Amino acid sequence: MVILQRKELTLAERLYLPEILRGLSITFRKFFKKAITRQYPEEPLPKDEVTRGQPRLVVKDDGHLACVSCGLCEAACPAYAITIDGHEVDRPIEREPERFEIDMLRCILCGFCEEACPKDAIFMSDELELADLTRAELVYGIDKLKRPRSALQKRIDYVYRINDRWRNSSSTP
């Protein structure tokens, strides 16, 4: 029969002194390093054209939505966040959305709607903040979603540039 002998702990080990001193030394070293905590919201998040915030609908210069209510973004949305009801109009585009809703609590900011849209009518904005008092308020309708094209211009230019890159590389023999 083998009898295991436990090592006798010293007084310092019984008081966890080595671990406490190691922990304090790490705290002491970090104390003098530059803090990397961002004081949000006083210090807002950096935003640029690559920022994929909440999707927004483009309003053209004539004041109408660019959307023709084709439903492709609704079909592409993996989170089932988009609901569209369209109706016919007399203008050349023939259809426009009567109801266009995005449930922001479902939206995962994936950008599939932006990619699916054949009319460049929906783009990812740089709007990231989302807060309200009820769930219903976070289902955004047309009024909350629409933005003038100029407000989304940086993102639109970026998406065109990215798409051109793929178009050019696929046309290269």
Binding residues vs ligand SF4 (CB under 6 A): 55, 67-73, 76-77, 79, 81-82, 84, 102, 107-113, 116-117, 119, 121-122
CA dist., res. 152 & res. 148, Å (int): 7
As measured in angstroms, the least distance from the Cβ of 64 to ligand SF4 is 12
Q: Is 42 exposed, middle or buried (0-12, 13-18, 19+ CB in 10 A)?
A: exposed
Residue 22 or 99 with smaller CB distance to ligand SF4: 99
Residue 86 or 154 with smaller CB distance to ligand SF4: 86
As measured in angstroms, the least distance from the Cβ of 92 to ligand SF4 is 14
As measured in angstroms, the least distance from the Cβ of 86 to ligand SF4 is 8
Residue 22 or 131 with smaller CB distance to ligand SF4: 131
As measured in angstroms, the least distance from the Cβ of 57 to ligand SF4 is 7
Residue 59 or 81 with smaller CB distance to ligand SF4: 81
Residue 15 or 105 with smaller CB distance to ligand SF4: 105
CA 22 to chain centre: 40
Residue 88 phi/psi, 5° resolution?
Answer: -80, 145
**Given the structure tokens 């995962």, which residue do they identify?**
108
As measured in angstroms, the least distance from the Cβ of 143 to ligand SF4 is 16
The answer to whether 95 touches 69, Cβ cutoff 8 Å, is yes
Give residues with Cβ within 8 angstroms of 54, minimum separation 6: 102, 104, 107, 109, 124, 125, 127, 128, 130, 140
